[in-house]
Structure 1
Amino acid sequence: MEPTKQTLLVGGLLVDVYSHPTSSSSSTDPIHALFFLHGRFESAQEKHLVDTVKVLFDESYGSGWGERKKDLIVVAFDHRNHGMRLVDQKRNFAWSSDPAENNDQHAVDMYTIQTGTAEDVSFLIDHLPSFLYRSGERTIVEWGMGGTSLGGHSTWIALSREPRLTLGIPIIGCPDYTKLISRRAQASGIPFSPPYFPTSFKTYIETYDPAQLPYRAKDASNPFLGKKVLVLSGKEDKLVPWVASAEFVEGLEVGEGGY
């Protein structure tokens, strides 16, 4: 059986909400919601994203779609400037020696999409229940987020900013933007300075990026405390090298309630 999908328009944002085909509309059981986001150049309609959603339901409801472990919904939407929200495809490109594919603003463009996605997730946590359960018949008791590549980067940022997210699955994502993008700039022969890296942009990164927050702290100053995080990265990945994430992930403190 395939997951059931409904598409909602939430404040102008098209959102796909997947549920298990055996989930009863009359049930009042609590709901666990997981955002799952696609990668760069992709959309919420990618086949492998939909396949991943099916696997998530297999795990949540047991093999063979048997006994339910949790009543789950999976939420997907297009990143800004992707899919139905595409404005200029070239602004999704990186630095390149080919003028037709070169995007001088790559560093700023990619990060603003990531932070924009984090804001979209908080916006949907605020308002999605009003569209799904208009009579208050069900309650979402847990919010999580996962994503691949661009979606993985966005997951780290959202985890660091949205306290209602208690679970994160960053796949091929990096929590330290300075390490990631400076290496990419060096490999492309791009100076780590204006106009490629505006001063205001570097100041923003140095203030708000996950790697700049007290992620090692064992008190409430650490936004990751109590959260469950599954980090999946490729050892041989050249585009998102593990070395850019290693210091953060190995030093990350989630406390006794986290994992």
Structure 2
Amino acid sequence: MEPTKQTLLVGGLLVDVYSHPTSRPSSTDPIHALFFLHGRFGSAQESYVVNIIKAIFDESYGPGIGWGERGRKILSPLPLNHGSRLVDQKRNLAWSEDPAKNNDQHAVDMYTIQTGTAEDVSFIIDHLPSFLYPSGERTIAEWGICGVSLGGHSTWIALSREPRLTLGIPIIGCPDYTKLISQRARSSGIPFSPPYFPDSFKTYIETHDPAQLPYRAKDTSNPFLGKKVLVLSGKEDKLVPWVASAEFVDGLEVGEGGVKRVVVEEGAGHECTSGMRKEAGLFVRKWLSGAGL
């Protein structure tokens, strides 16, 4: 069955809110809310976005998880400079030998979109309940996040910054921006220096990027401790190669209360495959059921 959708305007930001068609509007049980962030050049209206959201609902809704016990919403806000928020399409482009397709500011543009979108997630967590349940009809008990490609990068950043997110599913995303973008710069013949990489930009990354945080620590200094993380990547991905993420993911510590599951799919490139969609849905299902992941 197709999920139902309503679009809310939260402080000027459009948020598509998807519900399972068998949900009970009159229920007062708490809700689990999952963000879904699409990729660069994507649109919240594209069929692949709806297909992924539908797959997550299909896999996560079944025996053992009554809707009244674990109601859920999937939230799809627009990333910066996409959809109705588009200001300049060229700023979404990468480096290219074709002047018409080249964006010299690719490194800065892509990261600022990622971080801005992650900040939007916190903003929505702050204010969505007031728009979704203005009379306090229901409460949102737990928040999760899932994203593909650019949305996967933002998922890592949001997980590292927003303590209210307890589950994260980065799909073909990377938590180490320096490794990812320096490799892309080398292959494009771009020097890892100003003006392509301003010193102030490098300083920001060295201070705030997930890979620069104490992600290996077993104490509260680690922002990932206690979180449930499913990493989905393609082994043949050339745009976001697994090698850029491997060291971080291998060393990531989530503690006894957390979960880390990693699937690097053989033969998959930069794509969200049917296998990845199924893995994501099953992970969400276990999150909702309260069962061990």
Shared fold, TM over 0.5: yes
Q: Which has the higher contact order (CA 8 A, sep 6+)?
A: 2
Deviation track 1:23-54 (CA, whole Å, cap 9, x = no partner) reads 11210111000000110001111111101111
| 1:13-162 matches, cutoff 5 A | 13-62=13-62, 67-68=66-67, 70-162=70-162
Extract unaligned runs of 5+ from structure 2: 260-293
Distance 1:101 1:16 in 2: 31
Amino acid at match of 1:234: G
Equivalent AA in structure 1 for residue 203 of structure 2: T
Give % identity.
Answer: 82
Q: Deviations over 1:112-134 (max 9, x none)?
A: 00000000000000000000001
Change (3 A) 1:138 1:67: closer
Query: Where does residue 12 of structure 1 map in the other structure?
Result: 12
SS at match of 1:197: coil
> Does the CA-based 8 Å contact 2:32-2:142 persist in structure 1?
yes
Deviates more, 1:98-107 or 1:16-25: 16-25
| Counterpart position of 2:228 | 228
Give yes or no for contact 1:155–1:170 (8 Å, CA) kept in 2: yes
Aligned-residue Cα RMSD (Å) equals 1.1
Question: Given residue 170 of structure 2, which amino acid in structure 1 is its aligned partner?
Answer: P
Distance 1:214 1:101 in 2: 38
For residue 58 of structure 1, report the CA deviation from its aligned partner. 1.2
Q: Cα distance, 1:2 vs. partner? A: 1.2
Per-residue CA distance 1:177-230 (angstroms, 9 max, x = gap): 000000000000000000000000000000000000000000000000000000
The corresponding residue for 2:187 is 187
Name the TM-score, length of structure 2 as normaliser.
0.86
Q: Is the 8 A contact 1:180 1:240 kept in 2?
A: yes
Compute the displacement of 1:56 (Å).
Answer: 1.3
Distance 2:48 2:80 in 1: 20
SS of the counterpart of 2:100? coil
8 Å contact kept, 2:29–2:70? no
Deviating above 6 A after TM superposition, structure 1's stretches of 4 or more consecutive aligned residues are none
- Alignment partner, residue 248 of structure 1: 248
One-letter amino acid matched to 1:225 = L
TM-score under structure 1 length normalisation: 0.97
Number of equivalences: 257
* Aligned-partner Cα distance in 1 for 2:240–2:23: 38
Structure 1 SS opposite 2:234? coil
